[in-house]
């Protein structure tokens, strides 16, 4: 096939259109040399190790790169999963990391908890070296204990940072290992007027690590905040009874949110939907007046078995929007999304009538009326969408109950649903998405 007079541009275009079809890419690579190299750019762009025979696959990949060195330049995303079960005992990972000189994204994730200190010193060093590469833009760390966050605080090239369930080693904890005073905060007042680079910060269950990172990175002697501390997109996962995370989240919102355009708050995954006394997250997370560039607001909550007025998060959302409306003459907010994860078991109900009784409590109370009144103010004139989403996960009985309650919910929001036609109610019932009404 190499003898066919296909221009290289056409070959490249064909292969690029197959980038999401691994089997087709592999077949195309067999057509000839000019097809082989381009197909490998896509086939090897993202490598995941950990799900299946990670020791063998890591060894095989390292040997392949030794025989075909150009493939190392194709690998831009490396994901290491279930690391607590294999990473410490794998003798090939450090050598593999050394060969990957074009990494743009690195993910390290435990299944239970990866004890960072259980990793050989040589491997720890090589992982930090990979994080320190100037081309690395995405860094995701999840389910890791005894981690030393201080080196990461010095990596000013990282645009997107994710920390989920990451705890510090005792020697680097915020109480006695921080490199700067914890009361010293950066002056971020000018960042609201500066151009924003695409950057994300995603944090959950990482209180001591986040607090130390914020202080050390934010008070660097170089004076420039790393991109992830000037995030355009901010995701904060609240955690029940986690005072460290609460304090760190407050520090984050108080000092580093002037650049945020898209903000997501999610209720703790361990929250008990039937517990009316569930602790509420910090009110500081809902001080939306601190977000001068906020355009999209997403709040992900449990569908607790009581009305919205007693919900642990919805009243905080309402007060935060009231605070935002009173803070300036006009706000840039364009969309508000409230996502409910019902976690209701349809097998517990004898029929639609019983399910409806459990489900209809949410639209009741004063919350939706008050929300409608707040968002109908002229200060929110940029608002063009309010979406209420129910994730019911293949639950037709509850979908019917949600559909039956939708008119009641919309009737509570007359200004937005009737006058401006901004409200949309959506049921996510995989694999189908059902738009109940707008």
Question: For residue 397, what pLDDT is reported?
Answer: 72
Region of 290 (left: φ > 0; alpha: ψ -120 to 50; beta: rest) is alpha
Domain ranges of the chain: 1-43, 261-438
- How many angstroms separate the Cα of 231 from the Cα of each of 261, 314, 315? 8, 25, 26
**Tokens 């007359």, located at residue:** 414
**Beta-carbon count within 10 A of 280 CB:** 15
Q: Are 357 and 368 in contact (CB under 8 A)?
A: no
The whole-model pTM stands at: 0.86
**Tokens 């920390």, located at residue:** 163
Question: For residue 278, what pLDDT is reported?
Answer: 60
Question: For residue 14, what pLDDT is reported?
Answer: 80
Question: For residue 135, what pLDDT is reported?
Answer: 95
Tell me the two tokens of residue 353.
Answer: 């009538």
Which ranges of the chain have pLDDT less than 70?
1-5, 171-197, 218-223, 240, 269-279, 303-307, 342-349, 352, 355, 358-359, 393-395, 429-438
């Amino acid at each position: 096939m190499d003898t066919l007079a296909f221009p290289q541009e056409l070959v490249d275009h064909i292969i690029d259109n197959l980038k999401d079809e691994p089997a087709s890419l592999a077949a195309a690579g067999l057509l000839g040399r000019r097809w082989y190299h381009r197909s490998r750019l896509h086939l090897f762009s993202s490598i995941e190790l950990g799900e299946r025979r990670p020791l063998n696959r890591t060894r095989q990949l390292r040997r392949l790169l030794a025989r075909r060195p150009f493939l190392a330049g194709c690998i831009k995303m490396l994901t290491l999963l279930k690391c607590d079960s294999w990473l410490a005992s794998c003798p090939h990972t450090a050598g593999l990391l050394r060969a990957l000189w074009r990494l743009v994204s690195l993910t390290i994730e435990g299944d239970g908890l990866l004890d960072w200190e259980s990793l050989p010193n040589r491997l720890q060093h090589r992982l930090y070296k990979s994080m320190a590469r100037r081309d690395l833009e995405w860094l995701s760390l999840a389910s890791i204990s005894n981690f030393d966050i201080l080196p990461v605080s010095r990596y000013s090239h990282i645009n997107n940072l994710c920390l989920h369930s990451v705890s510090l080693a005792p020697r680097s904890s915020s109480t006695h290992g921080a490199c700067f005073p914890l009361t010293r905060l950066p002056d971020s007042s000018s960042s609201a007027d500066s151009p924003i680079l695409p950057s994300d910060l995603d944090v959950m269950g990482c209180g001591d690590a986040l607090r130390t990172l914020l202080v050390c990175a934010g008070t660097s002697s170089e004076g420039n905040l790393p991109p992830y501390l000037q995030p355009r997109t901010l995701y904060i996962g609240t955690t029940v009874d986690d005072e460290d995370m609460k304090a760190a989240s407050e520090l984050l919102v108080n000092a580093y949110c002037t650049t945020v355009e898209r903000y997501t708050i999610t209720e703790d995954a361990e929250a008990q939907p039937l517990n009316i006394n569930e602790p509420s997250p910090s009110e500081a997370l809902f001080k939306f007046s601190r977000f001068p560039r906020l355009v999209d607001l997403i709040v992900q909550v449990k569908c607790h078995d009581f009305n919205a007025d007693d919900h642990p998060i919805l009243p905080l959302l309402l007060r935060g929007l009231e605070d935002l409306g009173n803070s300036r003459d006009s706000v840039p907010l364009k969309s508000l999304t409230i996502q409910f994860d019902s976690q209701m078991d349809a097998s517990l109900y004898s029929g639609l009538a019983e399910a409806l009784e459990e489900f209809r409590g949410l639209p009741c109370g004063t919350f939706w009326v008050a929300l409608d009144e707040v968002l109908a103010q002229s200060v929110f004139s940029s608002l063009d969408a309010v979406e209420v989403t129910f994730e019911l996960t293949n639950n037709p009985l509850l979908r019917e109950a949600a559909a039956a309650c939708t008119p009641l919910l919309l009737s509570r929001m007359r200004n937005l649903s009737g006058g401006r036609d901004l409200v949309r109610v959506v049921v996510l019932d995989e694999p189908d998405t059902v738009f109940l009404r707008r």
